[in-house]
């Protein structure tokens, strides 16, 4: 089977690859997309798909999020889980009623249905890896003045 699989992978354009890290939170040739608010302004957050995705055949997606100073992700809940590892800077996560400070290397597991939000109250970028299932439900934004903006997907399948 391995040889067959390799042939299939080549046909599908799935090739092994080393992608070099550039300045922290950047990888050669990997585009990062700004999150946009409903009014079109950037949301002080950007996202890059590092591996997985619709055409990959993987059951997971590995993404990198970076929050600029003052940035935050949507305050939301969903049935799918998050596994997060902090790569750069410091920030905080709201999980239900609790807020936790986060430092480099810290791991966060967000359980199904948990209301959560990542925020950057610092003066430096806050970056983290986030693993999710490729097949997952759409987040529901909860509360906050910018809740409407959270329903704006920056790209198909990005949530």
Q: Does 111 bind a copy of itself (CB under 8 A)?
A: yes
Between the alpha carbon of residue 98 and those of residues 18, 89, 103, 120, the distances in Å are 38, 20, 16, 16
What count of residues does the chain have? 159
Please tell me the distance from the alpha carbon of residue 137 to that of residue 81, in angstroms, as a whole number.
Answer: 10
Q: How far is the CB of 62 from a copy of itself (least distance, A)?
A: 5
Q: Does 9 bind a copy of itself (CB under 8 A)?
A: yes
Q: Does 157 bind a copy of itself (CB under 8 A)?
A: no
> Nearest CA to 74 among 157, 148, 158?
148
What is the footprint of a copy of itself within residues 68-97 (CB under 8 A)? 77-79, 81, 83, 85-87, 93, 95-96
Please tell me the distance from the alpha carbon of residue 156 to that of residue 33, in angstroms, as a whole number.
Answer: 12
Among 31, 33, 38, 109, the residue binding a copy of itself under the rule CB under 8 A is 109
Among 27, 32, 141, 152, the residue binding a copy of itself under the rule CB under 8 A is 27
């Amino acid at each position: 089977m391995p040889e067959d699989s390799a042939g299939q992978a080549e046909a599908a354009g799935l090739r092994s690859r080393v992608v070099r890290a550039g300045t922290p939170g950047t990888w050669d040739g990997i585009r990062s997309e700004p999150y946009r608010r409903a009014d079109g302004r950037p949301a002080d957050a950007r996202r890059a798909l590092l591996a997985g995705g619709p055409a990959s055949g993987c059951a997971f997606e590995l993404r990198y999020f970076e929050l600029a100073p003052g940035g935050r992700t949507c305050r939301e809940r969903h049935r799918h889980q998050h596994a997060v590892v902090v790569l750069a800077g410091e920030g905080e996560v709201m999980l239900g009623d609790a807020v936790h400070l986060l430092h480099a290397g810290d791991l966060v597991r967000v359980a199904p249905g948990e209301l959560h939000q990542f925020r950057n109250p610092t003066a430096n970028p806050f970056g983290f890896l986030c693993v999710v299932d490729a097949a997952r439900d759409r987040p529901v934004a909860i509360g906050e003045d910018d809740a409407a903006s959270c329903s704006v997907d920056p790209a198909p399948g990005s949530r």
